[in-house]
Structure 1
C-alpha cells in the first residue's frame, strides 16, 4: 500500500479508537484534537487513545507494547516485550490476531524491537541475549542474525542486561537493518550508545554484520526506539523516568552520514576523534498539549507515559511525516497503554 493510503487508514483508525473508548474499560480515555496542536515548531499532535489499556485479546494481555511497524496492506504490527506479537486493524487499531514468540529453546523473549521485512517476515530483537531473530507471520522461528561479541551481555560481552537492543528498523531499500542499543557498553562514556547495522548484497540475501555507529543520548535518558525516515536518516526516541516526577520523552532526528564506523573502536569517550551521529531535537513531548489526558502517576504532562514504540505511517497532504507512537504500561496499574498520533516536518540538515 502506498504511504499516503497508509496514512489515511491509520489516522482514521485513531479517530475510530476514540469512539471505541466508550465501550472500553472505565479507565480508558481518548482525545482527538479538532485540528493539530504544536508540540514544537517541527512536531504536532493530532490525538491519542487509551482504548487498549488493560484489555485482553484471545486470552492475552494487550499491553507491555514496546514496538510498532507497518505491515503490508497497512496493518500495524505491535510487539509486546512479553513475547506476544499482535496485529492491529488498520482502521480501529484493535487487535485482530496474536502469536507468541519463543527462542530456539522454546523460552520467552524480552522482545523490544520490530521491523517487517519485504517478504512479510518479522525481525524481532530480544534484550536478554541480545539477539535479532526472524519469524514468520504465524510466529515460526526461521533464523537469527549474528551479534558482535562486545554487544552481548556481560560476562560474554560489555553490555548491561536490559539495556541492549531496544530499537530496530530497516533503512530505505530494505538492504540495511539497524538495531539501537538502549544503554552504553562498559568502558564507553555514559550516554554514548552504539547503533549496529547489518547489510545484504541483494534484497533476498541474508544479513551480515556491517558498520556500527556511536550516538550520544541526553543525560539520564536511554534510546527506546529508532525509526528510519524515507530519506535514510533516523527518528530517535530518548526516554527516561524519575520517581515522583514522571517520564521524559524526546524525539530527535539523527544523521549517520559522516559518523565514524565504530565496530573496531574499543571505547567511545566522545573526545577520541570519533565522529558520533549528529542529532537535532524535533520535540520534547512534555511541551505537547495534554488534550485532556489523565495520568495515573505524577507526570510533568499528563499526556506522557513510558513511550517506547514509534513507526512512520505515511505523509500528510503538506508532506509532514505521520507518526504513531505507543507507551509500554509494564502491566502496571499506574501506567497506561496509550497510542499517539503525531506529525513531523523534518529539517533539511541536522546541526548537532
Structure 2
C-alpha cells in the first residue's frame, strides 16, 4: 500500500488519502483491481461532513458521478454529492468533489431528522405524511432519459414508548439536479410497511435499484427478506430477497426471489446492498452486490464483499406469492460469482454499499466503480470511506 495525495475541493493542501495501485491481470482473469482511494474521516466540504456514502452512479453524458449520503439529517441535511473520478488503464486517479445539494421535500424544505419530525408530527394522510417524513437515503441513479436523479430510501418501522409505531414506507423518488422533489415511483403493493408482520424489515428496504432496458424499466431489490418471507440469512442457510421489475410509471412486470448467501462463520449480517444492470439496454441480467459485516477476533468489524451475476430468465414470478417462506415450487434467480473482493489484492475492504459502471477503457475493459460507507467514523479507522475501481474483461 502506498500513500497518494487525495485531491478534493475544499481540502487543505497536504491532506492524504491511502491509495492502492492496480493489480496485473492473469491471462484468464475476468476482473482486476485498478486501485482504491480512501477519503479522510471527518472530511468537510461546503459546510457538510462527507460520510455515509452508500450509493454511486455515473452520468454518461458528462462523465461526472453522483454519490448519496445516508445521513438522516442527523449531522447535516439528507444530501448528495457530485464528483470527478479519474479512471485509466493504469489505475484510479484523484477523486474530486464538485458539488453538494440537499434533497428537498415537496414543499421545498430539507428533510427533517426523526427527532424534529416526532416533535412536530404530521396530521395529514399517510401518503402525504410519508412524502414529508424523515428519510434514510441509500441508492442514487442518474436518469438516462431526463436530467433527473432518482434515489431510494428505506423508510422506518419504529416502536415508540408513547405514541405507537412510526411507519414510513420505503420509496424510490425523483429529484431535479439541484435536489428539488420531482415525484416518486409507485410502490409494489406487497412492499408497504405495515403495523403487523408483513412488509420490509426495519433498515432492510431499498438498498439498491437500477435502470434497465435503456431507462424504460426500474429494477429494485430489498436488502433482506420481508417479514412474511422468513428469517434473515444464518450460518449455513441463505434467505430470499425480493427483486422487482417495474415500468417508469410503476407497473410491476415481475417480482423474483433472489437467494442471498448464508452467513460465513465470522459474519453477523448479510444482505444485498446494490444492484446494477449488467447490460444497460437489457432487462434480464444484473450484477448484485452482497456484503457481510461481522465481528472478527479482537472485536473488530470485518467485511466480506462479493459481486454476483444474476439472471432472471426462468425464475418464478412471485409478485402474487404472499410468503416465500411457505411457497412451494418457486424457482429463484440464478446467480454465479463474478468477484470476491478479497481475491483482488485490495486488502481490507470497507462496508461496500454502492456500484456503478465507469468508462470503458482503451483496452476494451469495462470499469466498475464501488463506494464504501464509513458510517461517519462509527466503525473507526479500519472501515473508512473508500472509492474502489475494478476492470472487467
TM range (shorter): 0.7 to 0.9
Partner of 1:62: 50
Deviates more, 1:228-237 or 1:247-256: 228-237
Greater relative contact order, per chain length (Cα 8 Å cut-off, separation 6+): 1
Q: Residue 148 of structure 2 is aligned with which of 112, 121, 130?
A: 121
Cα deviations by residue, 1:216-251 (Å, 9 ceiling, x for unpaired): 010132000001112541111101111125001111
* Partner Cα separation in structure 1 for residue 255 and residue 31 of structure 2: 29
Between the aligned partners of 1:219 and 1:151, the Cα distance in structure 2 is: 23
What is the root-mean-square deviation of aligned Cα atoms in Å? 2.4
Residues 137-170 of structure 1 show CA distances to partners (whole Å, capped at 9, x for unaligned) of 0111010111124212342742101001000100
Deviation at 1:267, TM superposition (A): 1.4
Shift of 1:52: 5.1
Question: Partner of 2:65 in structure 1?
Answer: 76
Q: Conserved in 2, the CA contact under 8 Å of 1:134 and 1:142?
A: yes
User: 1:239-277 CA distances to partner (integer Å, 9 max, x unpaired)?
Assistant: 111112500111100011221211101111497211211
Deviation per residue, 1:86-143 (Å, 9 max, x gap):
0102444311111111444743421112111121201111101200110000111010
2:124 corresponds to which residue? Answer: none
Look up the match of 2:127: none
In the alignment, structure 1 residue 339 sits paired with structure 2 residue 381: no
Per the alignment, residue 332 of structure 2 pairs with 276
SS in structure 1 of the partner of residue 215 of structure 2: coil
Q: Is the 8 A contact 1:103 1:109 kept in 2?
A: no
Q: Equivalents in 1 of 2:13, 2:304: separation in Å?
A: 31
Of 204, 223, 246 in structure 2, the residue corresponding to residue 198 of structure 1 is 246
Query: Could you say which structure has the larger radius of gyration?
Result: 2
Looking at structure 2, the residues matched to 24 and 229 of structure 1 have their Cα atoms a distance apart, in angstroms, of 39
Cα 1:160–1:154 shift into 2, 3 Å: farther
Name the CA distance, whole Å, in 2 between partners of 1:95 and 1:111. 19
User: What secondary structure does 1:239 align onto?
Assistant: strand
Q: Secondary structure at the match of 2:6?
A: helix
Gaps of 5+ in 1: 1-16, 201-205, 291-300, 346-352
**Offset at 1:317?**
3.7
- Tell me the matched-pair count: 311
Specify the alignment match of 1:151 in structure 2.
191
Q: Which SS does the other structure have where 1:173 is aligned?
A: helix
1:211 aligns with 2:197: no
- Partner residue in 2 for 1:244: 296
Instruction: State the TM-score, normalized to the length of structure 1.
Output: 0.81
Deviation at 1:324, TM superposition (A): 0.4
Residues 194-225 of structure 1 deviation map (CA, whole Å, 9 limit, x = unaligned)? 0122114xxxxx34333211100101320000
Matched, 1:323 2:368: yes
Task: Name the structure 2 match of 1:228.
Answer: 277
Question: Aligned residue for 1:179?
Answer: 220
CA change 1:251–1:86 in 2 (3 A) is same
Q: Which ranges in structure 2 are unaligned for 5 or more consecutive residues?
A: 72-77, 87-93, 113-133, 156-168, 232-238, 264-269
Task: State how far apart, in whole Å, the 2-side matches of 1:36 and 1:77 are.
Answer: 29
Q: Is this contact kept in 2: 1:54–1:337, CA < 8 A?
A: no
Contact 1:259 1:277 in 2 (8 A): yes
Corresponding residue for residue 286 of structure 1: 342
Distance 2:37 2:84 in 1: 14
Partners of 2:287 and 2:359 lie apart in 1 by 14
